């Protein structure tokens, strides 16, 4: 029987398994996962930390789902090396053969080489185990300091804050989320976070983590020392590619794939945070799902020698901050110079909307403080919906009504 092997039981691997099963009811599908858990919803870890949801809510499927779909799920098993010529994935103890392979190994937190980074209570958050550790520390400590004020750093700050801990964020850039929002929205966001009791050090670089054995402070390059009980590093991610590198596999930031999620090795596909398409490795949830589906479907077609392949359509990455009481949404390239900007500001209610328009289409948008319109705008940008009777004097709300 034809065998599809999927490495990584995250959301991308799970969707690859589902799509492969839909496309080929009879093939053998094996999903290998390094962690001891079934697939879980990583994006909900901040809510798990803040105890808005319990652990069960993280799992879309129990053991029976894998059995019912005839998917062999091997947990607590790590692939350490590949033999693409022999079509084998190697563990420390075993060799697993395949006819088609999908690498969905995701990414891991990037740990910057800051002196003192090996002290106790300096950690990153990627897994359920990391989240349980943060929860425990937040409940037994007074102060947490987060290095990195990106989207995940801000969500972590809010999760820890809800458990009663004081929170500092140290951010290198002079303002928050400079790639996702403009200065005006950054200011509103800063104000809203400070109102929630989160202290933010902008334009600040960490020189060292101080403390004997256990971290007790974060020393900034300015000389300021922030006293702290624990530190969360939120300084980006890197694709998990080390175990898969071989001369024949093209790897840049991540494993390079074409529009069918095929890699440079015939019969080997990649998806999600581990994959790079068109020079992009966005490392976001919706892309992991769609690439997983494409890779799974096409791996099944590959083994059947059937040319009816699925094509991956590149998605616009978007940012949607999940902090209760703060709406901050952005989509598209907000630095585009060739767009006309349509702006709505209400200082009283702290609403700010900026639409970037070109050829009667919304190309990008920033929405602060107005949750009711984000979905409409997202759809309009994704579908490049034509704005009827557009002229530059139209108000933002009238334009949105017309969509």
Ligand X SMILES: Cc1cc2nc3c(=O)[nH]c(=O)nc-3n(C[C@H](O)[C@H](O)[C@H](O)COP(=O)(O)OP(=O)(O)OC[C@H]3O[C@@H](n4cnc5c(N)ncnc54)[C@H](O)[C@@H]3O)c2cc1C
Q: Which is nearer to ligand X, 263 or 342 (CB)?
A: 263
Site for ligand X contains 82 (CB under 6 A): no
Please tell me the count of residues contacting ligand X according to CB under 6 A: 35
Sheet strands (E) in 110-265? 122-124, 143-147, 166-170, 198-201, 206-210, 217-220, 225-227, 230-233, 237-239, 255-257
**Shortest separation between residue 267's beta carbon and ligand X, angstroms:** 18
Smallest distance from the beta carbon of 358 to ligand X, in angstroms?
Answer: 26
Least distance (Å) from ligand X to the CB of residue 264? 19
Q: Which stretch binds ligand X (CB under 6 A): 112-120, 132-140, 271-279, 328-336?
A: 271-279
Question: Which residue number, 125 or 249, has a Cβ lying nearer to ligand X?
Answer: 125
Lookup: tokens for 40 = 């879980």
Instruction: Kindly state the smallest distance separating residue 334's Cβ from ligand X, in Å.
Output: 18
CB of 283 to ligand X, least distance (A): 5
Q: Which long-range contacts (CB under 8 A, 24 or more apart) does 333-337 make?
A: 333/363, 333/364, 334/180, 334/181, 334/182, 334/364, 334/365, 334/366, 336/363, 336/364
Closer to ligand X by Cβ: residue 272 or 369: 272
Considering only 29-37, 167-175, 254-262, 373-381, which stretch makes contact with ligand X by CB under 6 A?
A: 29-37
- Residues 103/107/108/110 CA torsion (nearest 10 deg): 130
Nearest distance from C-beta of residue 204 to ligand X, angstroms:
23
Q: Which positions from 359 to 398 touch ligand X by CB under 6 A, shown as an x/- string?
A: ----------------------------------------
Q: Of the two residues 192 and 287, which places its CB atom closer to ligand X in the complex?
A: 287
The full DSSP string for 105-152 is: --EEE-----TTTTSBTEEE--SHHHHHHHHHHHHH-SEEEEE--SHH
Q: Where do we find the tokens 């690498």?
A: 103
Nearer to ligand X, 155 or 370 (CB): 155
**Do the Cβ atoms of 254 and 274 come closer than 8 Å?**
yes
45 binds ligand X per the rule CB under 6 A = yes
Q: Is 19 in the site for ligand X (CB under 6 A)?
A: no
Q: Nearest distance from residue 6's CB to ligand X, in Å?
A: 9
Using alpha carbons, select from 334, 324, 346, 323 the residue that is nearest to residue 377: 334
Choose, by CB under 6 A, the member of 5, 20, 27, 35 that binds ligand X: 35
Q: Is 42 in the site for ligand X (CB under 6 A)?
A: yes
Residue 115 CA to residue 206 CA, distance in Å, equals 9
Among 79, 160, 328, 366, binds ligand X (CB under 6 A): 79
Token pair in block for residue 84: 């693409």
Helix count and strand count (H, E) for the chain: 9, 25
Closest to ligand X by CB, 33 or 370: 33
For residue 344, state whether it binds ligand X (rule: CB under 6 A).
no
Part of the chain binding ligand X (CB under 6 A), chosen from 136-144, 246-254, 285-293, 326-334: 285-293
User: To 10 degrees, what angle do helices 11-23 and 285-304 make?
Assistant: 30
Three-point CA angle 396, 154, 326, nearest 5°: 35
Considering the complex, state which of residue 339 and residue 381 has its C-beta at the smaller distance from ligand X.
381
Rounded to a whole number of angstroms, the minimum distance from the CB of residue 185 to ligand X is: 18
Sole window of 137-145, 168-176, 193-201, 272-280 interacting with ligand X (rule: CB under 6 A): 272-280
Work out whether 276 is an interface residue with ligand X (CB under 6 A). Answer: no
d(CA 362, CA 355): 6
Residue in 357, 356, 403, 348 with CA at minimum distance from that of residue 380:
403
Spatial CA neighbour of 319 closest among 201, 163, 186: 186
Structure tokens at 255: 């494993």
Residue 234 DSSP label: -
**Residue 2 vs residues 99, 268, 299: alpha-carbon distances, Å:** 6, 14, 11
Any contact of residue 104 with ligand X (CB under 6 A)? yes
Binding site for ligand X (CB under 6 A): 7-13, 32-35, 42-43, 45-46, 78-79, 104-107, 125-126, 152, 240, 243, 272-274, 283-286, 288, 322
């Amino acid at each position: 029987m034809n065998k599809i092997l999927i490495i990584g039981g995250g959301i991308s691997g799970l969707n690859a398994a589902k799509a492969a099963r839909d496309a080929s009811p009879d093939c053998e599908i094996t999903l290998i996962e390094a962690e001891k858990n079934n697939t879980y919803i990583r994006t909900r870890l901040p809510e798990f930390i803040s105890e808005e949801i319990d652990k069960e809510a993280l799992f879309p499927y129990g053991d029976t789902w894998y059995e019912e779909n005839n998917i062999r799920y091997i947990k607590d098993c790590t692939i350490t090396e590949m033999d693409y010529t022999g079509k084998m994935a190697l563990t420390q103890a075993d060799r697993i053969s395949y006819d088609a392979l999908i690498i969905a190994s995701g990414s891991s937190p990037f740990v910057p080489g800051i002196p003192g980074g090996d002290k106790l209570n300096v950690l990153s958050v990627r897994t359920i185990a990391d989240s349980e550790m943060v929860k425990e520390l937040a409940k037994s400590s007074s102060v947490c300091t987060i290095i990195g004020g990106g989207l995940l750093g801000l969500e972590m700050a809010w999760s820890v804050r809800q458990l009663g801990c004081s929170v500092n964020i140290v951010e290198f850039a002079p303002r928050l989320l400079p790639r996702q929002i403009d200065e005006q929205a950054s200011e509103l966001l800063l104000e809203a976070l400070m109102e929630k009791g989160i202290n933010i050090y902008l334009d600040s670089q960490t020189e060292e983590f101080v403390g004997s054995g256990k971290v007790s402070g974060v020393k900034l390059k300015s000389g300021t020392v922030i006293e702290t009980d624990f530190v969360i590093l939120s300084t980006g991610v890197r694709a998990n590619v080390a175990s898969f590198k071989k001369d024949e596999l093209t790897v840049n930031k991540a494993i390079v794939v074409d529009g069918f999620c095929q890699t440079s090795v015939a019969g080997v596909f990649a998806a999600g945070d581990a994959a790079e398409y068109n020079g992009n490795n966005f490392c976001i949830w919706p892309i992991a799902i769609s690439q997983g589906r494409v890779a799974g479907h096409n791996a099944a077609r590959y083994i059947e020698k059937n040319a009816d392949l699925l094509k991956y359509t590149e998605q616009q990455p978007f940012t949607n901050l999940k902090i209760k009481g703060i709406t901050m949404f952005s989509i598209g390239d907000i630095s585009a110079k060739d767009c006309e900007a349509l702006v709505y500001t209400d200082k009283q209610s702290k609403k700010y909307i900026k639409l970037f328009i070109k050829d009667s289409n919304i190309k990008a948008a920033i929405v602060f403080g107005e949750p009711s319109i984000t979905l409409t705008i997202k759809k309009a940008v994704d579908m490049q919906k034509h704005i009827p009777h557009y002229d530059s004097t139209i108000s933002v709300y009238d334009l949105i009504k017309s969509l």
